[in-house]
Structure 1
Amino acid sequence: MTRSARALVASADQLIAPPPGATPPLTPGLRARAAAALLQQALDEAMDDFWRGVSPGMVHAAPRTKALCLDRYVSPSPARQWYAVRSALSAACHHHTYELPPTPAEVKAWHAAVTDLLQAMPSGTSPTGP
């Protein structure tokens, strides 16, 4: 069972800003990476939901292919933003011992970008442009 994109963003929000007085069991670096992973999942889930309504076969395509094809259905700006944010989140999720985890400011910026993208994701199925 997959969680909705909005539920994933809400879970990431809880990791980014735990309730006051709570002692989170994870270190800030692990919380940042976990939040980035949830945000990436939210973007992927929103994109898959879009493609299920347009062309169900696209659900199985690579994320880059989905983003490139999205240009036919929305203006290029959201498609480019989706790809840029997803690429940044993907890099943050691939842990390397020689790299620092993402900063809280980076994760909060990604959180805001993902929230904006979820609101901007189209619900129509007709292509734009030629």
Structure 2
Amino acid sequence: MTLPTSGLLAAADELLCPPPDIVHTLTPGLRARAAAVLLRLALDETLDDFWRSVSPNMTRTGRSRMLSLQWYVRPSVARQWFAIWSALSAACHHHSYELPPTPAEVRAWHQDVSELLNVLPSARL
């Protein structure tokens, strides 16, 4: 069972801006990467919900569900969705030769994800 998207966004926000009375056991880079994972999960969950309402079989098709989005919503929304999802996907994968995303980058993605989650239901063609 996963959290609803609002819970995922709240958990990501808490990782990015922890309360001052909490002892920080994770570095800012690890917290930022964990928040990126939660944000990407929120995008995936919302996209699955969208496809369940349009065509339930699309929830099982992986990446093509995102590529097909451009024919069901405004193209600008589909492009922004793909760009943010791609950036979050890159941030979620750990490579020893790459630095983790900065908290500022993930905060910007958090803002973008929040906007997209509000826009998607009304963006249908």
| Deviation for aligned residue 1:123 | 6.0
Question: Deviations for 1:30-83, whole angstroms, at most 9, x for unmatched residues?
Answer: 1011000000000000000100111111001123x1122112221101111111
Q: Residue type matched to 1:38 in 2?
A: L
Question: Deviations for 1:15-44, whole angstroms, at most 9, x for unmatched residues?
Answer: 000012222221111101100000000000
Q: Where does residue 24 of structure 2 map in the other structure? A: 24
Q: Residue type matched to 1:109 in 2?
A: A
In the superposition, the TM-score normalised over structure 1's length comes to 0.90
Residues 1-130 of structure 1 mapped to structure 2, 5 A cutoff: 1-63=1-63, 65-122=64-121, 128=125
In the superposition, the TM-score normalised over structure 2's length comes to 0.93
Question: Aligned partners of 2:58, 2:83: CA distance in 1, in Å?
Answer: 20
Secondary structure of residue in 2 paired with 1:18 = coil
Q: Is the 8 A contact 1:67 1:80 kept in 2?
A: no
Q: Share of identical aligned residues, percent?
A: 60
Q: Is the 8 A contact 1:8 1:39 kept in 2?
A: yes
Structure 1 segments of 4+ aligned residues over 2 angstroms from their partners: none
Q: Residue type matched to 1:23 in 2?
A: V
Secondary structure of residue in 2 paired with 1:2 = coil
Question: Unaligned regions of 5+ residues in structure 2, if any?
Answer: none
Question: Deviations for 1:68-126, whole angstroms, at most 9, x for unmatched residues?
Answer: 211222110111111100000000011000110101110011000000000011268xx
Q: Is the 8 A contact 1:50 1:123 kept in 2?
A: no
